[in-house]
Structure 1
Amino acid sequence: MSAKIIIVTNQKGGCGKTTLAMNVAGVLGLNNKTLLIDGDPQGSASRWAASSSDEKPFPAAVMSLAAVNDKVNREIKKYIDDYEYIVVDCPPAIDNKFTSSALLIADLALVPIVPSPTDLWAAIGIQNLISNVSEINEKLQARLVANMCQTNASISKEALSLIEEFDFPKMTTDIYQRTAYRQSAALGGTVFDLDNQKAREEIKALVSEIIDALN
């Protein structure tokens, strides 16, 4: 059985991409053989996993392929039979050849967006890239994930109407801005290592939606 490949991408930095990728990969890794590929030259995902203790290592294998760039699809293929899931944390730039290459073999692209008009306008470029790659990779699906939502504010009507203009749907689960996500990075784990029920429920629900989309 070959791995299902999940790409986490957005051209805009500051959308919580690595936090989402690490929590999704870590939770998948609790019950499935999972590989997280760090495609960001800053190496945030690799540093995150390295922060874990020897007694409790990060639940997924982590590997940096940031230097591979436009041939990353070939590198990922080498690991496809060894894992059940491969999650790729892409660099935050649309003109980056890494993302285009990774999308060529992806099953699902997750696009985390902060639900504000400026962030949604900035995500149009990634929509265009995914649409172009979809013509080559016909199995590719894409989903928006409302990320870093403010607890006291529902997604504004303006943001919701912009979301509806996208070619692909939004996941039902929204991820809120919680200290648990920052704490999970410091511990080198996931929100499942912390006593924050809401954060755990969010990630669990999102992972369930991801599995449903892949099946």
Structure 2
Amino acid sequence: MIYAFLNQKGGVGKTTLSVHTAAELTRLGRRVLLIDADPQGSALAWANCRENPAFTVVGMPKATIHKQIPLLAGDYDDIVIDGPPRIAELARSILLASDLVVVPLQPSPLDIWAAAETVDLVREAQVYEPDLKCCLAINRRIVKTAIGRDVRDALKELDVLVLEHDISQRVAFAETLANGSTVGRDDDRKGAKEIERFVEELRRMT
């Protein structure tokens, strides 16, 4: 299964969700490859801080990624792609390679507009890849506020599935990117549970 995390806007949490999705799939016994397709290289930087690598991370910010992934896919059960912002040619190549596109967004108007642009790219790709699936993921939701509910209402006009399980804004998620780790049960049990439910929901879509 090839999961791609894409949004035309930066700073929505693509890398955080990519890394944690790869880690959770690995915990479930899957052989996972994480591809950093963002020229900024955030996932690679995270990987360089790891002490005990549990899965492989490679950089591939190339517009030919859809041609190269089939050469790698046989060695892995799942591939997770951390996509770039604002590089339409590369994003289109990622879309052609993917089975499921996850569009992370924060609960803000700017993120909703950017998500709409990404959904448009997905629909273009579905002309050539009709089995390509897409969903929206609300990230960095502030706990105990009505923002999550309000953003769901606003997203209805995009006519795309919004994942039931949001990811909350937690210091632990930010800290993991700096030290090459992921949120575990010992660090933040609630955060770890959110990731478990999030990945479980993604797997149900496949």
Please tell me the TM-score bracket, short chain as reference: over 0.9
Q: CA RMSD in A?
A: 1.4
2:101 to 109, 117, 131: 109
1:150 and 2:150 equivalent? no
Quote the sequence identity (%). Answer: 35
Preserved contact between residue 38 and residue 89 of structure 1 (Cα < 8 Å):
yes
Which residue of structure 2 lines up, in the alignment, with residue 164 of structure 1? 156
Counterpart Cα distance in 2 of 1:194 and 1:79: 34
Question: Aligned pair 1:136/2:128, yes or no?
Answer: yes
TM-score (norm 1): 0.91
Instruction: Please state which structure has a larger fraction of its residues in helix.
Output: 2
Q: Could you tell me how far 1:81 is from its partner in structure 2? A: 1.0
| Cα deviation code 1:63-84 (max 9, x no counterpart) | 0001x2x211011111111100
Task: For residues 27-72 of structure 1, give each alpha carbon's deviation from its aligned partner in whole angstroms, at most 9, with x where no partner exists.
Answer: 112211000000111110001011011xx22x22100001x2x211
TM-score computed with the length of structure 2 as normaliser: 0.95
Distance 1:132 1:203 in 2: 30
CA offset at residue 96 of structure 1?
Answer: 2.6
State how many pairs are aligned.
205
Indicate the SS of the match to 1:189.
Answer: coil
1:60 equivalent to 2:52? Answer: no
Q: Which of the numbers 109, 117, 120 marks the counterpart of 1:125?
A: 117
Separation (CA, whole Å) in 1 of partners of 2:2 and 2:119: 18
1:14 aligned onto 2:11: yes
Q: Which runs of 4+ in 1 moved over 3 A?
A: none
Written as runs of structure 1 = structure 2, the 5 A alignment for 1:1-215 is: 4-30=1-27, 31-53=29-51, 56-57=52-53, 59-66=54-61, 68=62, 70-93=63-86, 95-155=87-147, 158-192=150-184, 194-214=186-206
Unaligned residue ranges in structure 2 (runs of 5+): none
Q: Aligned AA for 1:178?
A: R
The CA deviation string for residues 77-130 of structure 1, in whole angstroms up to 9 with x for no partner, is: 11111100000001111x431110111121100000101222102211101000
Instruction: Tell me whether 134-143 or 156-165 shows the greater mean CA deviation.
Output: 156-165
Q: Is the 8 A contact 2:152 2:162 kept in 1?
A: no
What's the offset of the Cα at 1:147?
0.2
The amino acid across from 1:105 in the alignment is: A
Tell me the SS of whatever aligns to 2:72. coil
Q: Say if 1:105 and 1:137, in contact at 8 Å, map to a contact too.
A: no
